[in-house]
Amino acid sequence: MYMDTAPEVDRHALSPEHAETIRASLPAVGANIEEIARLFYRTMFAEHPGLLANTFNRGNQRSGEQQKALAASVATFAAMLVDTSAPSPVELLTRIGHKHVSLGITEDQYQIVHDNLFQAIGEVLGDAVTPQVAEAWDRVYWIMAGVLVGFEKGLYDSAGVRDGDVFVPARLAAREQLTGSVMKYAFEAAGFARTQPGQYTSLGVQLPDGARQLRQYSLIEWDDRGFSVAVQRDGEVSSHLQDHVRESDTIEATLPAGHLVLHQFTSPIVTVSQGIGSTPMAGMLVALIRRLDAEQGAASRPEHPITVLHADASESDYAFRDLAEAVTSRLQAPLVTAFRDQDQRLDLRALAEDGTLPAGAQWYLCGGNAFLRDIRDQLEEHKTRLFPAEVHFELFSPNDWLLR
Ligand SMILES: Cc1cc2nc3c(=O)[nH]c(=O)nc-3n(C[C@H](O)[C@H](O)[C@H](O)COP(=O)(O)OP(=O)(O)OC[C@H]3O[C@@H](n4cnc5c(N)ncnc54)[C@H](O)[C@@H]3O)c2cc1C
Ligand code: HEM
Catalytic residue among 2, 34, 141, 152: 152
Q: What backbone phi and psi angles, to 5 degrees, belong to 329? A: -70, -35
pLDDT at 291: 82
pLDDT at 14: 94
Does the annotation count 364 as an active-site position?
Answer: no
Asked whether 218 and 200 are in contact (CB, 8 A), the reply is: yes
Q: What backbone phi and psi angles, to 5 degrees, belong to 106? A: -125, 165
Averaged confidence pLDDT in the chain:
92
pLDDT at 235: 95
59 in ligand 1 pocket by Cβ < 6 Å? yes
109 in ligand 2 pocket by Cβ < 6 Å? yes
232 in ligand 1 pocket by Cβ < 6 Å? yes
66 CA from centroid of ligand 2 (Å): 8
Asked whether 337 and 363 are in contact (CB, 8 A), the reply is: no
DSSP state of 201: E
> Max Cα separation, the chain?
71
292 in ligand 1 pocket by Cβ < 6 Å? no
Query: Which numbered ligand comes closest to the C-alpha of 106?
Result: 2
Specify the DSSP element, H or E, that contains 29: helix 16-47
Mean pLDDT value across residues 280-291: 91
pLDDT at 301: 66
Domains of the chain (ranges plus CATH)?
A: 16-158 (1.10.490.10), 167-254 (2.40.30.10), 269-403 (3.40.50.80)
303 CA from centroid of ligand 2 (Å): 39
Mean pLDDT value across residues 23-40: 90
Instruction: Classify 362 as helix, strand or coil.
Output: strand
Asked whether 360 and 389 are in contact (CB, 8 A), the reply is: yes
Could you tell me the pLDDT band of residue 130, with boundaries at 50, 70 and 90? very high
Mutate to test the pocket of ligand 1, among 100, 177, 284, 396 (most ligand atoms within 8 A of CB): 396
Helix axes 131-158, 90-101, angle to 10 degrees: 60
Q: Which of residues 84 and 382 earns the better pLDDT score?
A: 382
63 in ligand 2 pocket by Cβ < 6 Å? no
pLDDT at 325: 94
Q: Which amino acid appears at position 62 of this protein?
A: R
Integer Cα distance of 211 and 207 in angstroms: 5
pLDDT at 296: 66
95 CA from centroid of ligand 2 (Å): 10
Other Cβ atoms less than 10 A from the Cβ of 47: the count is 12
Could you tell me the pLDDT band of residue 75, with boundaries at 50, 70 and 90? confident
270 in ligand 1 pocket by Cβ < 6 Å? no
Q: Looking at the CA of residue 231, tell me the nearest atom of ligand 1.
A: 11
pLDDT at 404: 47
Summarize pLDDT for 183-200 with one digit per residue, the tens. Answer: 999 999 999 999 999 999
Residue 134 has pLDDT above 60, yes or no: yes
> What Cα–Cα distance (Å) separates residue 172 from each residue in 132, 185, 231, 248, 252?
55, 7, 14, 5, 10
pLDDT at 403: 47
Mean pLDDT value across residues 210-217: 97
Q: Which of residues 42 and 68 earns the better pLDDT score?
A: 42
Mean pLDDT value across residues 100-118: 96
Summarize pLDDT for 198-207 with one digit per residue, the tens. Answer: 999 999 999 9
Share of the chain above pLDDT 90, in %: 76
Which region among 73-87, 102-116, 326-340 has the lowest average model confidence (pLDDT)?
73-87
Share of the chain above pLDDT 70, in %: 96
Mean pLDDT value across residues 387-394: 91
pLDDT at 262: 87
Mean pLDDT value across residues 21-28: 93
DSSP state of 249: -
Asked whether 372 and 277 are in contact (CB, 8 A), the reply is: no
pLDDT at 65: 82
Q: Which of residues 332 and 280 earns the better pLDDT score?
A: 280
Does the annotation count 110 as an active-site position?
Answer: yes
pTM: predicted TM-score of the whole model, two decimal places: 0.95
Q: Looking at the CA of residue 117, tell me the nearest atom of ligand 2.
A: 2
